[in-house]
């Protein structure tokens, strides 16, 4: 019953989308005050219907209404309430409903927030955006209806994948979706600006907020996913160049390029075509991500169901959008996007170009690395794996020049910079050399590439820090750049100094790792509502006789029956101690993996600093930086 209402509400949502679309198309030539009110009304209505469906599905999860197929497949009556609700987007159908919710709220928000912009630009943005909205409405209704009903009503649900029952992962999808869906506004706005000849600094200034919102949330979503992978997947890593991770990284890279490019357009009225291309590419990458993940081509925790009809639908949708963007781009490109301004070598414009150059290169590495195996499989039916060795070889050497350009780029002026020799440069250089020397000595590093990377990163940090003190400086940019440098440095330190030891031991045994003695005290079992766990009690004694207790566990979930290994992590400012246990078949032994991971928390802190930078930029008053 309730499910039918939810479905009907979605259907009405689709109808309102059509109304908005047609009404906007028919009224482009007209000019009346009523127009705005009508579009408002129907956009609100469209949003309202999606909200109703969303609430109905939430409620079905809340009361564990197993007559609903989505609830039946992904929930269980013994699950904690929090995971019942967040289980809504832990599956294909529900997550698409969430996608629709964000999509429809954003276009409403855009319309509300763009009152000062020209009428036709707003109308065209709504039109292009409605094409996406309608596409997704039909996708949900036709191939992934979250309101399918079951009869007879099953007494109990199948449960949610246990590794998804986790607080970080519960909020990871909504945050990530805000980032992804934000790119749909960027896309629609770019097409509309081309059609109406509105690609100028005002447009860039307004669009920049949307770029910042998407970028900040995408960064946050990736951060949450990494944190989750770190403590939940039980191997102590946070990034594995898994295709699903790459898919979130690709739009991030092109958004970062766009963020720099759009500032140039705002300040100098330059790089118009390129900005438009980046806007389109960013959104395409988001949709491609959805296609690759949802079609079952890639295997991961994100692949909820392998239904080929879904993949085909998204693929056709993607082709329509690409075709549309191409046509619009080629019709209007020459008319609207001309610029004949000169770019001088030593200028901020050049630094932005260099940033974009590297970003696109990184993007191409990740993109080729992700899709090449798929194409090779289709064409020659040979399967290859493209893993960390590939990315390390192609990315790391290019990071050195990238960091160096990044350290000098922000101090360039627009138009032209007169390079004067300053004594401070010698200080920067000396300071960097000393810092690098000390660090390399303490890490006892002999790898030349690592030393060069440390040097360039220290230079970047030392060059960025004084920027905070300058007058008239863009502090959100400084913050994000500093955060990025710290992130890279923490990852580098972490990867060269991490140690680990794997032992098969019995209860009561102990072993030595570096200066620490790890003792396996005892085993305890516990019963929870939705799982039972075997907990290992460990004590770690260091040189100063301080004792740290760590309790890693093996959880056996009841619905569905799955065993997961829960890591125990002791985080301090300088290092994480990470321990997991696993059962070994037919033996009294436990497989214990103990890892020392220095600077782990700094990886998260620096990413948060990047996010703070983005957040400040979103809320900053429109100041004009030089």
Summarize as ranges the residues that interact with other proteins (CB under 8 A): 233-235, 237, 240, 242-244, 299-301, 342-345, 350, 353-354, 356-357, 360-361, 364-365, 368-369, 372-373, 376, 380, 382-390, 394, 398, 502-505, 509, 511, 565, 582, 585, 589, 591
The structure tokens listed for 325 are: 């963007």
- 580 and 551 in contact (C-beta within 8 Å)? no
* Shortest reach from residue 88's CB to other proteins, in Å: 23
* Shortest reach from residue 276's CB to other proteins, in Å: 16
Beta carbon nearer to other proteins, 53 or 355 = 355
Torsion region of 623: left, alpha or beta (phi above 0 gives left; psi -120 to 50 gives alpha): beta
Which residue carries 């600077």 as its tokens?
A: 599
* Shortest reach from residue 591's CB to other proteins, in Å: 7
Beta carbon nearer to other proteins, 5 or 502 = 502
Beta carbon nearer to other proteins, 355 or 476 = 355
Beta carbon nearer to other proteins, 154 or 373 = 373
Which residue carries 């491609």 as its tokens?
A: 288
Spatial distance between the Cα atoms of 195 and 283, rounded to a whole number of angstroms: 18
* CA 70 to chain centroid: 26
Per-residue buried b or exposed e for 21-30, using 16+ beta carbons within 10 Å of the residue's own CB: bebbeebeee
* Shortest reach from residue 29's CB to other proteins, in Å: 39
52: nearest Cα among 109, 103, 2, 111: 2
* CA 112 to chain centroid: 26
Beta carbon nearer to other proteins, 345 or 442 = 345
* Shortest reach from residue 293's CB to other proteins, in Å: 12
Beta carbon nearer to other proteins, 148 or 307 = 307
* Shortest reach from residue 385's CB to other proteins, in Å: 5
Burial degree of 334 (CB within 10 A; 0-12, 13-18, 19+): exposed
Interacting residues of 264 by C-beta distance below 8 A, sequence separation 6+: 270, 271, 348, 349, 352
Beta carbon nearer to other proteins, 240 or 612 = 240
What stretches of 237-271 show up as alpha helix (H) in DSSP?
A: 243-268
* Shortest reach from residue 422's CB to other proteins, in Å: 24
Beta carbon nearer to other proteins, 14 or 352 = 352
618: nearest Cα among 113, 104, 44: 113
Spatial distance between the Cα atoms of 231 and 567, rounded to a whole number of angstroms: 6
* Shortest reach from residue 128's CB to other proteins, in Å: 28
* Shortest reach from residue 365's CB to other proteins, in Å: 4
Spatial distance between the Cα atoms of 158 and 300, rounded to a whole number of angstroms: 19
DSSP secondary structure string for all residues of 432-477: HHHHHHHHHHHHT---HHHHHHHHHHHHHHHHHGGGGGSTT--HHH
Binning the chain into helix, strand and coil, the percentages to the nearest 5 are 65, 10, 25
Beta carbon nearer to other proteins, 197 or 373 = 373
Beta carbon nearer to other proteins, 301 or 431 = 301
* Shortest reach from residue 564's CB to other proteins, in Å: 11
């Amino acid at each position: 019953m309730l499910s039918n209402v939810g479905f009907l509400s979605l259907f009405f949502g689709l109808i309102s989308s059509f109304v908005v679309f047609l009404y906007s198309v028919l009224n482009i030539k007209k000019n009346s005050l009523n127009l705005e009110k009508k579009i408002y009304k129907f956009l609100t209505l469209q949003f309202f219907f999606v909200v109703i469906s969303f609430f109905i599905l939430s409620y079905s999860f809340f009361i564990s209404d197993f007559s609903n197929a989505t609830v039946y497949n992904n929930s269980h009556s013994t699950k904690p309430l929090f995971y019942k609700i967040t289980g809504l987007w832990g599956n294909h159908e529900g997550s698409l409903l969430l996608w629709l919710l964000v999509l429809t709220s954003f276009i409403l928000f855009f319309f509300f927030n763009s009152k000062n912009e020209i009428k036709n630009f707003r109308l065209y943005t709504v039109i292009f955006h409605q094409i996406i909205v309608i596409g997704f409405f039909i996708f949900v209704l036709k191939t992934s209806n979250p309101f399918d009903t079951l009869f007879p009503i099953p007494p109990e649900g199948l449960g949610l994948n246990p590794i998804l029952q986790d607080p970080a992962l519960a909020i990871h999808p909504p945050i990530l979706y805000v980032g992804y869906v934000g790119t749909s506004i960027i896309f629609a706005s770019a097409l509309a600006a081309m059609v109406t000849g509105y690609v100028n600094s005002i447009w860039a200034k307004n669009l920049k907020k949307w770029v910042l919102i998407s970028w900040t949330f995408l960064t946050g979503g990736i951060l949450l996913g990494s944190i989750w992978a770190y403590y939940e997947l039980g191997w102590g890593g946070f990034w594995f160049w898994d295709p699903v991770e790459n898919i979130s990284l690709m739009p991030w890279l092109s958004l970062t390029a766009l963020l720099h490019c759009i500032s140039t357009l705002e300040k100098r009225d330059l790089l118009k075509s390129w900005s438009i291309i980046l806007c389109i590419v960013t959104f395409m990458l988001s949709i491609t991500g959805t296609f690759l993940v949802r079609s079952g081509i890639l295997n991961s925790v994100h692949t909820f169901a392998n239904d080929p009809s879904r993949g085909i639908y998204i693929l056709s949708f993607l082709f329509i959008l690409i075709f549309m963007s191409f046509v619009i781009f080629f019709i209007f490109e020459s008319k609207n996007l001309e610029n004949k301004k000169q770019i001088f070598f030593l200028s901020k414009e050049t630094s932005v170009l260099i940033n974009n150059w590297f970003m696109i290169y990184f993007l191409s590495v990740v993109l080729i690395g992700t899709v090449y195996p798929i194409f090779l499989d289709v064409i020659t039916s040979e399967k290859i794996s493209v893993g960390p060795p590939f990315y390390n070889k192609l990315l790391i050497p290019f990071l050195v020049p990238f960091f160096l350009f990044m350290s000098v780029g922000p101090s360039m002026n627009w138009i032209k910079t007169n390079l004067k020799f300053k004594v401070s440069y010698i200080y920067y250089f000396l300071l960097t050399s000393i810092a690098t020397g000390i660090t390399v000595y303490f890490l006892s590093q002999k790898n030349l590439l690592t030393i060069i990377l440390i040097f360039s990163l220290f230079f970047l940090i030392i060059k960025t820090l004084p920027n905070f003190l300058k007058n008239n400086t863009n502090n959100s940019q400084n913050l994000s750049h500093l955060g990025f440098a710290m992130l890279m440095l923490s990852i580098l330190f972490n990867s060269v100094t991490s140690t680990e030891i794997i032992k098969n031991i019995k209860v009561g045994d102990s072993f030595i790792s570096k200066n620490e003695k790890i003792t396996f005290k005892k085993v305890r079992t516990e019963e929870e509502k939705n799982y039972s766990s075997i907990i290992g009690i460990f004590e770690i004694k260091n040189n100063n006789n301080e004792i740290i207790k760590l309790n890693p566990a093996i959880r056996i979930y009841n619905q569905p029956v799955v065993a997961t290994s829960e890591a125990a992590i002791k985080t301090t400012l300088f290092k994480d101690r990470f321990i997991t246990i696993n059962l070994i078949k037919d033996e009294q032994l436990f497989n214990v993996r103990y890892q020392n991971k220095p600077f782990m928390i700094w990886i998260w802190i620096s990413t948060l600093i990047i996010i703070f930078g983005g957040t400040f930029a979103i809320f900053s008053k429109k100041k004009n930086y030089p």
